Amino acid sequence: MNTGKAVRLLLLGFVIAVVAIGLLPFLIVYSWSDLYGLSDMDPASTPVAFLQKMLK
């Protein structure tokens, strides 16, 4: 393995790590919402739907 291939693999690993760490908060929030049963609620009771009704 030459230096170029090693650097390329290292860079790929760093990119995958940054993406995984970036997605972690969203996965935690999704997990908590599923744990507390918020994902089974009516879609009209979500904050986005509430704000859309309020701004119309």
Q: Integer distance in angstroms from the first to the last C-alpha of the chain? A: 61
pLDDT the model gives residue 43: 61
pLDDT the model gives residue 35: 78
Q: Report the predicted TM-score, pTM, of the whole model to 2 decimal places.
A: 0.51
Residue 24 to residue 38: CA distance in whole angstroms: 19
The string of pLDDT tens digits covering residues 2-48 is 999 999 999 999 999 999 999 888 888 878 877 776 666 666 566 66
| 8 Å CB contact between 39 and 33 | yes
pLDDT the model gives residue 18: 94
pLDDT the model gives residue 28: 83
Q: Is pLDDT at 49 greater than 90 in this prediction?
A: no
